[in-house]
Structure formats: structure tokens, C-alpha cells
């Protein structure tokens, strides 16, 4: 008879078989021969192989078995971890087998986007909530098609500060915030290791604590921000790098995202939304969107740091191109220049291959209004049904801006743009002639 591992304090769970059937039951015990004994709410018990269940359930059972058979399980419980963060991050010792949507819901984050390749959630508490007794300004959760795979928390930083903030005082507070969190994490988890994640200009020095397959990374970037990132331990061991898609796989993925509509629209779908929030981070957010679309992990705060983005926002194109060059090449990708002025003929060459185009330009209220009204008209909306003022300077004043060009229509002479202002701004259409004379420098693509 196989040795049994008894599980105490388990919770009712909905189990899904490989045939799609569902049952709600508690775990009574898991066995070393990879069978599990379950008991229903009516007291009926039964034993079945792990392989009876869906991939998510099997991962859950494997984690239970590993926990109970392991002498190296961290002495700090997941309940204590949640109390430290004052957030229900964990519901057991493994965050990485939790569906992304479930984690987003219990953390009360807003859904930002869901594509065929990833899912992400975000919120901007703007200092009105606290984590580890410190005001938090932004939280971001990412996952693949099934499960959560990273959580980031941003505290005092030069991007999210309100207008007229005393910058010298804020810089002191950033350092004090980091020191306090380091002390609290060390008090619970012991002494950290010094480590780094990222590559080139995007390399970030961190304090690292390992806890049951999770790397807790505290980043204190002098004069810039304090952040905590939680990622799988194996990813942290690789410096934050993830497995690379082959060129063939990336080409197939990107071409599969090209949608051709009956009205003549040709549009790239499945580009993740990254909402820059109430700050001028259009450049870091847009670059993060593109990098994640080509399966390169990125973070707009780190991009802003590396590109020397100004207080509250504002990034020079040459700085962010330089900052991203190493990580793009490390994944075997290339950054390309594709001219200055967007025209339907020029844009179609890249859209047809699934390649969005990054366009830097002079944004005016007139241009933004035209994009909004034209999109509403072609979709039969009243403007207030879909759009409110984005709250961004680029939307309400004359300002430098960057967005993605994601589509075209040869018949109507329109081009589709996508802004980093949240889901409502994923796709807007504007006449190509309205884009003339607005460009700043060259347009860019990232390709295989």
C-alpha cells in the first residue's frame, strides 16, 4: 500500500476531470503513488489517480504532495505572509497554480487585458492604500493563459507623484520606505541575498528572499522608486528571463493575430493593454506593450528608470531605444526603423505580418478629438458611451506622444491607433491624412 500524506485544514475545491466533469470535494489525503482521496460535502469519499483531473488540479495536487514530503518547506506560513503584506496574495503555499483571474479578483485589481497568450490586471491606489505599512501607488498582476506568474507593487516613485510635490523630500521618503520594508521582510523571512534581474540598462539590483518557490524581490532604486516584485523562483534564478520563442513560433503567433474584417479593416489583435495611469509614461507603457507582445517580459517602471524618464513622465525616444537594445537582442529580436510618416501603403507592409508600428508624434487636442469622433461614428456609438477624457496631457494639450499603429483600411484611407490609456483606447481609427506633419523622428518595429 502506498504511503499516505494526510492533509489537514483543506478547503472545498471544484475539481475538473479531463472529460470536463466537475465535483466539489475536500482532500483527505494524497498518496506517494499519485492518487488522492477526496470527500464530498455529503461525506462520500473516493480515491482516484491525479491523472483523472485537469492540468491545474494536477499541479495543485503535486504541490500538496511536495509540501508534505518536503523537509525544506519554509517555516513562515502563507497566512503570515498575507498578514505581512496585508493582502490575500496566497490561499496556500503556491501562488503559481492559481488562475490569474482568481488572484486579480481577490486582490481587487481591474482587468487590463486578456489575449491568447497572457492576462493582466492592475490598479492605481495612488497612495490611498498601504502594503507593509507603506503607501502603495500601483499594483500589477500578470499571468499566462492559465495561471498567475508575477505580481509587482510600486510604492513611492517619481512617476506617480502628485503635482507640486517637494522632490527633495520625496527622494528621502523613497529611501526611507525601502529601508522600512527591508527591515520588515528581514524580520519575518531572515536575511536576504543581494541579486539582480534584467539585462543591460534594464538590470535592476534587488534584495531577494526565497519562500516556497517564490522569489520576493525588493528594489530600491536611488532617487527613483521602491518596488516589490514576486516571481517564480526558477525565473529569478535566470535573472528574470523567460524561455524564448523561436523565430518560427513568433512569426506564426504574430501572423495569427492579423484579423481581416468584412468592412476592409485589417487589424492586429491580442496586443496586451498596459495602462500608464495618471502620469506621462506613454513611452515606457507603449514599449512594454510591444515587448510583451513579442514575448519579452518588461515593466514600464524599469523602462522609465533606464530611459531616464522625467518626473511625472516625459521620455526621449533615443533613451528608451538605447535602454531596450540589450533585452531585445538577448531574445534574438531586432529593432527596425520604418520611416517617419504613416501612410496606408507603408503601414500595410508591417500590419500584414502582424508587426505593430510605434509612432512618436505631436499630439494635439484636435487630433485626439478627431480619432475619438471618427471611431465613434464608424461604430455607431455616442462618444460618451465609449470614451471619457483620458486624463492624459497628450489627450488635452499639445504634447509629445507615442502610440501603436495596429491596423489600416485601404478603402477608407484610415489607420488604427492604440494608446496606453486603458481598454477603451485599445483601438481607434483616424484618417491617414490627419496624421501628416505630426511625426517626431522615425517609426519603429520589433521583429524576429
Residues 6+ apart with CB under 8 A from 187: none
40: three-class secondary structure by DSSP: strand
pLDDT at 240 (0 to 100): 93
Report the domain count for the chain.
3
**pLDDT value at position 256?**
97
pLDDT of residue 7: 38
pLDDT of residue 139: 97
Position 5 pLDDT exceeds 50:
no
**Strongest mean pLDDT among 163-177, 342-356, 375-389:** 342-356
Q: Do residues 386 and 258 both lie within one domain? A: yes
| CATH code for the domain in which residue 433 is found | 3.90.70.10
Mark whether 280 and 359 lie in a shared domain: yes
- Domain CATH for 37: 2.30.30.700
Domain shared by 133 and 94, yes or no? yes
Torsion of CA 441, 442, 444, 448, to 10 degrees: -140
Domain assignment present for residue 111? The answer is yes
User: Which residues does residue 419 pair with via DSSP β-bridges, in sequence order?
Assistant: none
Distance CA 309, CA 313 (A): 6
86 pLDDT higher than 70? yes
Identify the sign of the CA torsion 252, 332, 406, 420.
positive
Mean pLDDT of 280-292: 96
Q: Is 153 part of a structural domain of the chain?
A: yes
Backbone angles phi, psi at 243, to 5 degrees: -60, 140
Q: Check whether 4 has a pLDDT greater than 50.
A: no
180 and 270 share a domain? Answer: no
- Closest of 219, 236, 380 to residue 301, by C-alpha: 219
What CA–CA distance (Å, rounded) separates 280 from 262?
Answer: 37
Question: In b/e form, how buried is each residue of 357-379, taking b as 16+ CB within 10 angstroms?
Answer: bbbbbebbeebbeebbebbbeee
pLDDT band at 190 (very low <50, low <70, confident <90, very high): very high
- Please tell me whether residues 170 and 309 are part of one structural domain: no
Query: What per-residue confidence (pLDDT) applies to 163?
Result: 66
Residue 70, pLDDT > 70, answer: no
Asked which of 107-121, 146-160, 198-212, 372-386 is least confident by mean pLDDT, the reply is 372-386
Q: Which of 447, 443, 404 is nearest to 255 (CA)?
A: 447
Q: pLDDT at residue 259 above 90?
A: yes
pLDDT value of residue 229 = 98
Is residue 284 domain-resident? yes
Q: Give Cα 306 distance to the centre of its chain.
A: 18
Q: Is the pLDDT of residue 314 over 60?
A: yes
DSSP 410: T
Last residue of a domain, one of 237, 268, 295: 237
| pLDDT tens readout for residues 203-245 | 999 999 999 989 999 999 988 899 999 999 989 999 999 888 8
pLDDT at 8 over 80: no
As a whole number, mean pLDDT of residues 377-388 equals: 73
Interstrand relation of 225-232 and 258-260 (parallel, antiparallel or unpaired):
unpaired
Q: Could you tell me if residue 242 is inside a domain?
A: no
Look at residue 334 and give its three-state secondary structure: strand
Asked whether the beta carbons of 232 and 214 are under 8 A apart, the reply is: yes
| Cβ neighbour number for residue 230 with a 10 Å cutoff | 24
The mean pLDDT of the chain is 90
Q: Are residues 20 and 90 in the same domain?
A: no
- Domain end: 237, 260, 294, which one? 237
Span of 60-74, 277-291, 408-422 with lowest mean pLDDT: 60-74
The reported pLDDT for the residue numbered 3 is 40
For residue 313, what pLDDT is reported? 80
Q: Which three three-digit cell numbers place residue 46?
A: 473516493
Domain that holds residue 178: 78-237
24 and 97 in a single domain? The answer is no
d(CA 251, CA 241): 21
What is the Cα–Cα distance from 198 to 297, expressed in whole angstroms?
9
Last residue of a domain, which of 192, 219, 237? 237
315 and 431 within one domain:
yes
Residue 185 lies in a domain: yes
Question: Range with the lowest mean pLDDT among 71-75, 356-360, 409-413?
Answer: 71-75
Q: Which H or E run contains 310?
A: none
Q: What is the pLDDT of residue 395?
A: 67
Per the CB < 8 A criterion, the answer to whether 177 and 156 are in contact is yes
Mean pLDDT of 139-167: 89
Q: Give yes or no: residues 305 and 405 share one domain.
A: yes
What does 170-231 look like in DSSP terms, one character per residue? Answer: HHHHHHHHHHHHHHHHHHHH-PPEEEEES-GGG-EEEEEEEETTEEEEEEEETTTEEEEEEE
Looking at the domain assignment, is residue 43 inside a domain?
Answer: yes
Please tell me which residue, 157 or 12, carries the higher pLDDT value: 157
Determine the average pLDDT of the residues in 355-365: 96
Parallel, antiparallel, or unpaired for β 138-143 and 119-123? antiparallel
- Rounded Cα distance, 150 and 89, in Å: 11
The pTM of this model reads 0.83
pLDDT tens for each residue of 426-437: 999 999 999 999
Q: Are residues 12 and 63 in the same domain?
A: yes
Amino acid at each position: 500500500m502506498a504511503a499516505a500524506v494526510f492533509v489537514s485544514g483543506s478547503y472545498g475545491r471544484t475539481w475538473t476531470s479531463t472529460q470536463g466533469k466537475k465535483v466539489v470535494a475536500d482532500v483527505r489525503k494524497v498518496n506517494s503513488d499519485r492518487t488522492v482521496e477526496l470527500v464530498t460535502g455529503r461525506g462520500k469519499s473516493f480515491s482516484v489517480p491525479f491523472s483523472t483531473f485537469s492540468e491545474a488540479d494536477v499541479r495543485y495536487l503535486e504541490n500538496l504532495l511536495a509540501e508534505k514530503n518536503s523537509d525544506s518547506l519554509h517555516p513562515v506560513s502563507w497566512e503570515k505572509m498575507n498578514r505581512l503584506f496585508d493582502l490575500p496574495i496566497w490561499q496556500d503555499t503556491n501562488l503559481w497554480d492559481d488562475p490569474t483571474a482568481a488572484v486579480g479578483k481577490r486582490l481587487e485589481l481591474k482587468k487590463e487585458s486578456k489575449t491568447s497568450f497572457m492576462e493582466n490586471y492592475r490598479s492605481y491606489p495612488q497612495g490611498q492604500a498601504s502594503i507593509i505599512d507603506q503607501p502603495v501607488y500601483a499594483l500589477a498582476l500578470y499571468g499566462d493563459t492559465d495561471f498567475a506568474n508575477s505580481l509587482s507593487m510600486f510604492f513611492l516613485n517619481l512617476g506617480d507623484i502628485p503635482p507640486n510635490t517637494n522632490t527633495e523630500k520625496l527622494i528621502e521618503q523613497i529611501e526611507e520606505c525601502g529601508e522600512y520594508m527591508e527591515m520588515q521582510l528581514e524580520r519575518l523571512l531572515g536575511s536576504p541575498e543581494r541579486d539582480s534581474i534584467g539585462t543591460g540598462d534594464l538590470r535592476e539590483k534587488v534584495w531577494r528572499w526565497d519562500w516556497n518557490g517564490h522569489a520576493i524581490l525588493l528594489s530600491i532604486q536611488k532617487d527613483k522608486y521602491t518596488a516589490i516584485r514576486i516571481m517564480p523562483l526558477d525565473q529569478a534564478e535566470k535573472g528574470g528571463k523567460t524561455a524564448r520563442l523561436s523565430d518560427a513560433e513568433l512569426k506564426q503567433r504574430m501572423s495569427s493575430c492579423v484579423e481581416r474584417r468584412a468592412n476592409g479593416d485589417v487589424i492586429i489583435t491580442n496586443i496586451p493593454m498596459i495602462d500608464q495611469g495618471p502620469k506621462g509614461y506613454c513611452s515606457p507603457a507603449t514599449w512594454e506593450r510591444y515587448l510583451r507582445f513579442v514575448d519579452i517580459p518588461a515593466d514600464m517602471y524599469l523602462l522609465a528608470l533606464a530611459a531616464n524618464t522625467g518626473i511625472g513622465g516625459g521620455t526621449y525616444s533615443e533613451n528608451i531605444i538605447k535602454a531596450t537594445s540589450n533585452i531585445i537582442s538577448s531574445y534574438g529580436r531586432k529593432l527596425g526603423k520604418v520611416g517617419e510618416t504613416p501612410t496606408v501603403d507603408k503601414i500595410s507592409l508591417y500590419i500584414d505580418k502582424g508587426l505593430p508600428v510605434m509612432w512618436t508624434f505631436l499630439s494635439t487636442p484636435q487630433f485626439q478629438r478627431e480619432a475619438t469622433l471618427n471611431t465613434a461614428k464608424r461604430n455607431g456609438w455616442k462618444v460618451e458611451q465609449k470614451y471619457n477624457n483620458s486624463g492624459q496631457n497628450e489627450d488635452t494639450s499639445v504634447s509629445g506622444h507615442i502610440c501603436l499603429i495596429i491596423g489600416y483600411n485601404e478603402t477608407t484611407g484610415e489607420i488604427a491607433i492604440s494608446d496606453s490609456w486603458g481598454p477603451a483606447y485599445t483601438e481607434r481609427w483616424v484618417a491617414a491624412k490627419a496624421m501628416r506633419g505630426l511625426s517626431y523622428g522615425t517609426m519603429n518595429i520589433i521583429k524576429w
